Each structure stands twice: as C-alpha cells, then as structure tokens.
C-alpha cells in the first residue's frame, strides 16, 4: 500500500514558476552563441505579382552587413507551400518573404532591410471573402482529417414541415494569435547537422519538417525549446521564419538569430480564417429539433490549403434525425490561415449556440431546457456511445452556480441605472484526443527518477502535470521526479495542440514509469502500437458557459461583470493549472465576443491593424469575475490517467454566451462578431 500522498489531484505549483518570475528561464532568442549574426525579413509590398528584380547594393554597402538572400541566391529547398521560402519569383500575398538581410547586429540588419529595393510586376489581387464568390470550392477534407460534408435524412423536407424554424447567417472576422513571446529561432549548423533554438509547440515536429527541406536525416536536426511564451496554435507547425533562419545560417556559416516582429506576426505566423455560417434549425413547438443544417464559407490562401473544420462540432451536439454540414473555401491573395485556439469548434459553436438561443426564443423555452431536451443518447453522426458525456450535468450545475433562475426571459427588461442587464448561456465541446508519443525513464542511483519526453510547455503547466503523473505512477514524492521536455533528441511526440498534449505524453510517461516500478532501471517506450480496442466510442469534453452583461444605453458599451463555466473534462490532474486554463480560455472567449477583429484593407490587400495598439484584446479592467468548476468524472477510455484535454474547451461557446446575453439585455441580436458599441449605439 502506498504511503506517498497522491500527486494527481493536488494543486501543485508550477515547477518552473520560480525560474520564470526570476528571469532564469531561457527562451528561444536568449540562448548565447559565439560569433552570432542577426537576420531581418524583407516583405513584399504587393499582394499579387512577380518579383522583377532585387537591388541589394545599398544594403550590402552598409558596414556590418554580411549578406542579402533572395530568390537570386537562395539555396534550392525541398519544400512546398508557406515553407518554400525564396524559392519563387511569384508573390501570393502582401507581406510574403522576398528577401532577408544578415548582419552583425539586429539594428544593422533591420536598417539594411529597409535599403533593399524590390521591383515587381503587379497583378490584380483578390482578398475579399464573399458567400457568392465564383471560385468557392469543396476541399477534399477539413482539418485535421474530417469529411468535408455530412448529410443524414432529408433536411430540406424537415425544414419545410417544421413548426418552428431558424434561418440566420453568422459571421466571425479574421483573428490573429498573439502569444506574448514572438516567434523566434536561432539556427546553428555544425558537424553536418542543424540545431535550432526555437519557440514552438512541438520540437519533434519542427525537426521532422525541416530535415527533408534541407536534405538531411531527422537525426541530424536538434530542436531545443524548454520554455515557450505562448502559442495558441500559431507555433503548432513550423513557420517560414524557421526555414529562413536555417538558410541564413547555412549561407554565412555562422549562428543566426531571427525574431519575427509583432507586426510581421500578422502575416507570417497564421491566423483564424473569417467565416460566414448559415444555420438552419427546424423544431416542433416543444423545441425538439427535427433538422439542423450548418453551411460554412471560409478562406484559404493560393499558397497552400487550410480548411477549418468549422461545422464539425454540429454533427454530434444535438439529437436530430435530419442533419447536414458543409464547408466551402475560396483561395485568396492572403496568408494561409492556420490553427488558433480550438480551430473549428470555436467559430462553429459560436454560430450553433447563437442559433440555439434564437430557437429557444422562437419556442418560448428556457435556453437551458431547450438544450437538455435535445440531448442525444448516442453520437447522432456515428451512432457510437460517448465514452462520457456530462453536458446536462454541466448545464444544471452552471445554472445553479450562476443564479440562472433569476434571469428575466423577456429582452430589455432589466436595468441598473444606465446599464441594461442580460444573461446568456451556451454549451461547449471539444474532442478528447490522444496521439503516439515516446518517453524515456531512468531510475537514478540517488533514488530519484528522470523522465525525458519531447513535450512542450507553452504556459499550460505541462511540465508540472507530467511530473505529477510520473510521481503517482512511481508511487514517489513529486520532489524525487525530474521531467525534461522541449528537446527533439528525446524522440517523436505529439505537439501541444488539439488539447491532446497531456493525454498523449502522459500515456507514454505512465507506460515508462510502470516499467521502472516493475524493476527496470532504464526504459524507452513509445505508444504508437497502443490501440483502443473494443467498441468505437466518441470521446469529447463538454461544458457550459453562463454570462451576465451590462450594456450602456447611451454608448453601446458592453461589459461582462461575471461568468460561470462548468466543464466535464475527465479527471483533473492539477486543479490549479486546470483553473488557469479554463479562465484563460473564457477570457479569450470574451475577447472574441467583444474585441478581436483583424481589419482588411481591400485596396492594399493586407490586414492593417497589425499590432497590439490596434488589434484589441481585453485588459484586466475588461474581465470581471470568472467562476470555474468541473464535474467529477473519469474517462479511462481516453488515456490511463482518465483525463481529457483542457486547453481549448474554455473558449468554445463562450462568445455565444456573451452574444446571447447581449440579446437578453437589449433585444438586439448581433450576428456579426465582434459586438462593438457601433453595432448597438442608436438602436437601444
């Protein structure tokens, strides 16, 4: 019998917390290098065309400049899409990398970059997403590998005969990931190998991607990233700057540092596609849904395809015999969209949960009750059982904690001085994923244990929860366990993305530590051969958001003084870091509802509010009380810890809860995010 207090379930402090607040944690750009050079990116000033000539004479004449790379002298790479840096004369979007300057100092490199003259043959660009765009097409699959469309039953007939119908279009704007630490890389070539100190969400994936680009074996690439200052999906795959840094280092035969500026991040590091979503619902007078149709239009680039899975969550949320989801893309002269926290589920559930609220109003039903009435017994799309599904428990617990019974159903019925007051609710879901990973474990002579795995801690507390998982498996105090992460030399492992990190890495850690506990002293394991077996199950986390808003009757200003989120996410390994993840996601949800919007200038073909002065995110004063709770559940069908991912479900549905509360407060339904004062003032 164990005499060691369990680590799992304890609110352990972050193991690296003291180093971070003391400034001792080293981030990508901070690693010291001998004889280091610096690179600066030169970006295109047109949205479509070809490069006619690159004049680098003035830049090369500047003291301290080592080289200028362009398509004229860049090495040939085995790369496609966004990573085919300087491989073509073609310009596909404004801000594309067309050259790079390498110099002895960062200041010199940036100055010289301004002296590089690039002449173009300009072509007419197309940057506007429209639901009637003539080049809309159906992609083969949507991210990460879902069928593009789905259909069951006769949706049109069910809508035509439904007693109550909702048919509305909801739009979300382009949004940009803005982690605190910008994307940065130090590239070093030595002994025929490449070492990258890089800010990323998966060191192994970076190594695996860059090795073939430069014609070397993956074992010749080492990627080091023990500390990462946020990512939100934008660091989940290697970005063009990492390839460019390696090219520059190879060209000058010196270590090269390359940091993407905040402004450049709005072009080179991904963003959430804008969406146009039509939701059609049919129901009887009691609110039981007979038809759901969710049709999505979104954008990709002409460089490579990214199809966000916006309507996929609709396939399994609510019971209905007739259902359809579709995704259509148009390739525009803009950068390629990419992952941003909860891609697909985040914008998709905003539209679905807003439409559910409109259906509740049309049926004169409480929005919580409407969702409970349409709770499916099995996954409506596949017929599979859910491994666990506690959405109803989340709704009921959230309603009780929030004081939902005090809500006045009639819109614009509650005032507090100049403020109109409203309440809203929305459901949340996110897949519970697990992917193969490797882990190495050693029982040291001094009685301690060392675990090595290519995990990534992007501020989530991954290092800490993996230590807790290892300690419990070993039946050892947490102080005797050291987990080393963020080094691709530890072998293949899942990225920190898709809320799958802890699930994937933790499974490998458990497997390795069980072997140590059985008497081995040094083990290496991988979980690529692990299979679930048994009946197929739908594995999802669920949650419910409740929001109270205040709307200024004169100015249209919206405030969110309090929110409640209740989640069913399996076993909670660390309640302190879990609470932080939920609060962070909900804060981002408020940001999505009220603030975030990247503005496109059609004439320039570019997003113009490309810094944190103009791209608005909430500050402390914008976020009120956030109460977070979770349902007591374990799901060992997902992993041996019984846990599910937490990183993304907090944002899913949150914007809809705020928007639904704004309707309850004002009687005005805003279907185009964000809900800015300009969309309300004059209508109140």
Q: Catalytic amino acids?
A: 648
Between the two ends of the chain, the Cα-to-Cα distance in Å is 66
Distance (Å) of CA 288 to CA 83, 152, 285, 331: 49, 17, 8, 38
Query: 3-class secondary structure for 115-174?
Result: HCEEEEEECCCCCCCCCCCCCCECCCEECCCEECCEEECCHHHHHHHCCEEEEEEEEECC
The maximal CA–CA distance of the chain, rounded, in angstroms, is 78
Put residue 339 in one of left, alpha, beta given phi > 0 → left and psi -120 to 50 → alpha.
beta
Helices (H), 26-147: 57-60, 106-115
Structure tokens at 35: 């004889």
How many beta carbons lie within 10 A of that of residue 152, not counting itself?
14
Q: What are 195's strand-pairing partners? A: 188, 222
Q: How far apart are CA 551 and CA 680, in angstroms?
A: 9
Q: Any idea what DSSP says for residue 620? A: G
Q: Is 551 helix (H, G, I), strand (E, B) or coil?
A: strand
**Per-residue burial over 286-306, b = 16 or more CB atoms within 10 Å of its CB, e = otherwise:** ebbbbbbbbbbbbbbbbbebb
Q: How far apart are CA 308 and CA 569, in angstroms?
A: 24
Q: Please give the radius of gyration of the chain, using alpha carbons only, rounded to the nearest integer.
A: 26
């Amino acid at each position: 019998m164990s005499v060691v207090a369990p680590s799992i379930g304890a609110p352990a402090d972050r193991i690296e917390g003291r180093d971070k607040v003391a400034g001792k944690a080293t981030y990508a750009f901070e690693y010291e290098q001998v004889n280091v050079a610096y690179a600066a990116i030169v970006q295109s000033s047109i949205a479509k065309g070809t490069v006619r000539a690159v004049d680098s004479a003035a830049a090369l004449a500047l003291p301290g400049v080592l080289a200028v790379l362009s398509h004229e002298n860049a090495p040939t790479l085995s790369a496609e899409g966004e990573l085919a840096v300087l491989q073509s004369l073609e310009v596909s979007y404004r801000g594309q990398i067309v050259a790079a300057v390498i110099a002895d100092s960062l200041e010199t490199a940036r100055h010289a970059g301004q002296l590089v003259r690039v002449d173009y043959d300009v072509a007419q660009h197309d940057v506007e997403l429209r639901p009637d765009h003539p080049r809309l097409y159906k992609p083969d699959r949507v991210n990460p590998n879902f069928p593009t469309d789905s259909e069951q039953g006769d949706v049109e007939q069910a809508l035509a005969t439904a007693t109550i119908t909702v048919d509305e279009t909801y739009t979300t704007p382009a949004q940009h990931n803005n982690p605190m630490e910008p994307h940065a890389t130090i590239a070093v070539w030595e002994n025929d190998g490449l070492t990258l100190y890089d800010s990323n969400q998966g060191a192994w994936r970076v190594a695996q991607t860059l090795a073939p680009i430069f014609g070397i074996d993956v074992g010749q690439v080492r990627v080091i990233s023990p500390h990462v200052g946020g990512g939100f999906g934008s660091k989940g795959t290697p970005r063009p700057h990492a390839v460019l840094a390696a090219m520059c280092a190879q060209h000058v035969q010196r270590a090269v540092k390359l940091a993407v500026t905040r402004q450049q991040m709005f072009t080179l590091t991904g963003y959430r596609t804008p969406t146009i979503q039509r939701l059609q619902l049919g129901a009887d007078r009691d609110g039981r849904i007979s038809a759901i149709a969710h049709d999505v239009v979104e954008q990709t680039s002409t460089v490579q395809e990214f199809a966000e899975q916006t309507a996929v969550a609709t396939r399994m949320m609510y019971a209905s015999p007739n259902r359809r989801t579709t995704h259509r893309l148009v390739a525009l002269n803009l950068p390629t969209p990419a992952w941003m926290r909860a891609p697909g589920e985040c914008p998709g559930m905003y539209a679905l949960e807003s439409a559910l609220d409109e259906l509740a109003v049309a049926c004169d039903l409480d929005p919580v009750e409407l969702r409970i009435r349409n709770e499916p017994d099995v996954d409506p799309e596949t017929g599979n059982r859910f491994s666990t599904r506690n959405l109803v428990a989340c709704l009921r617990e959230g309603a009780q904690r929030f004081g939902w019974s005090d809500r006045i159903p009639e819109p614009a019925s509650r005032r507090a001085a100049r403020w109109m007051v409203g309440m809203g609710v929305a459901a949340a879901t996110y897949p519970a994923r697990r992917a193969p990973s490797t882990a190495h474990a050693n029982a040291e002579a001094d009685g301690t244990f060392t675990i090595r795995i290519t995990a990534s801690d992007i501020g989530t507390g991954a290092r800490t929860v993996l230590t807790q998982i290892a300690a419990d498996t070993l039946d050892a105090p947490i102080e005797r366990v050291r987990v080393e992460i963020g080094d691709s030399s530890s072998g293949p492992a899942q990225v920190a993305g898709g809320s799958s990190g802890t699930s994937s890495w933790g499974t490998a850690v458990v497997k390795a530590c069980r072997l140590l506990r059985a008497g081995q002293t040094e083990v290496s394991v991988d979980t690529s051969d692990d299979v679930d077996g048994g009946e197929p199950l739908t594995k999802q986390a669920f949650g419910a958001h409740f929001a109270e808003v205040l709307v200024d009757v004169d100015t249209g200003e919206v405030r969110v003084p309090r929110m409640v989120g209740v989640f069913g996410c399996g076993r909670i390994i660390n309640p302190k870091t879990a609470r932080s993840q939920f609060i962070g996601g909900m804060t981002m949800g408020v940001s999505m509802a009220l603030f975030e919007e990247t503005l496109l200038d059609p004439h320039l073909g570019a997003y113009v509010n490309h810094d944190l002065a103009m791209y608005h995110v909430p500050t402390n004063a914008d976020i009120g009380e956030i109460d977070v709770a979770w349902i007591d559940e374990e799901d060992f069908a997902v992993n041996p810890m019984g846990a599910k991912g937490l990183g993304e479900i907090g944002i899913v549905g949150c914007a809809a809860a705020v928007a639904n509360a704004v309707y309850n407060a004002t009687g005005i339904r805003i279907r185009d995010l964000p809900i800015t004062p300009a969309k309300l003032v004059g209508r109140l």
